[in-house]
Amino acid sequence: MSDMAERARRAARIVEKPGLFKVCEGCESIVIRDANTCPNCHGYRFDEDPQRVIEQAHILGSRPQTSVKPGDLED
């Protein structure tokens, strides 16, 4: 499966159950609701509004990934 298709699939799953996720205020990635800090930027401020999660899922699912992966930030 292509990277793009995989992202679209994930986005669809998020839109289905937005209550399980939240949006990081630091890097705008979608993380699971249970996460204490963002796996991408280690931020701890989140927007838990389901509507915001849905909007962000659509954005992330419809464009190529441009942000760095978590591993890229480690030394």
* CB nearer Zn ion, residue 26 or residue 50: 26
Q: Which of 8, 41, 47, 55 binds Zn ion (CB under 5 A)?
A: 41
Q: Which of 7, 27, 50, 52 binds Zn ion (CB under 5 A)?
A: 27
Q: Does 50 bind Zn ion (CB under 5 A)?
A: no
Piece in contact with Zn ion (CB under 5 A), picked from 8-16, 43-51, 59-67: 43-51
Please state the three-class secondary structure of the chain as a single string: CCHHHHHHHHHHHHHHCHHHEEEECCCCCEEECCCCCCCCCCCCCEECCHHHHHHHHHHHHCCCCCCCCHHHHCC
Residues at the contact surface with Zn ion, assessed by CB under 5 A: 24, 26-27, 38, 40-41, 43
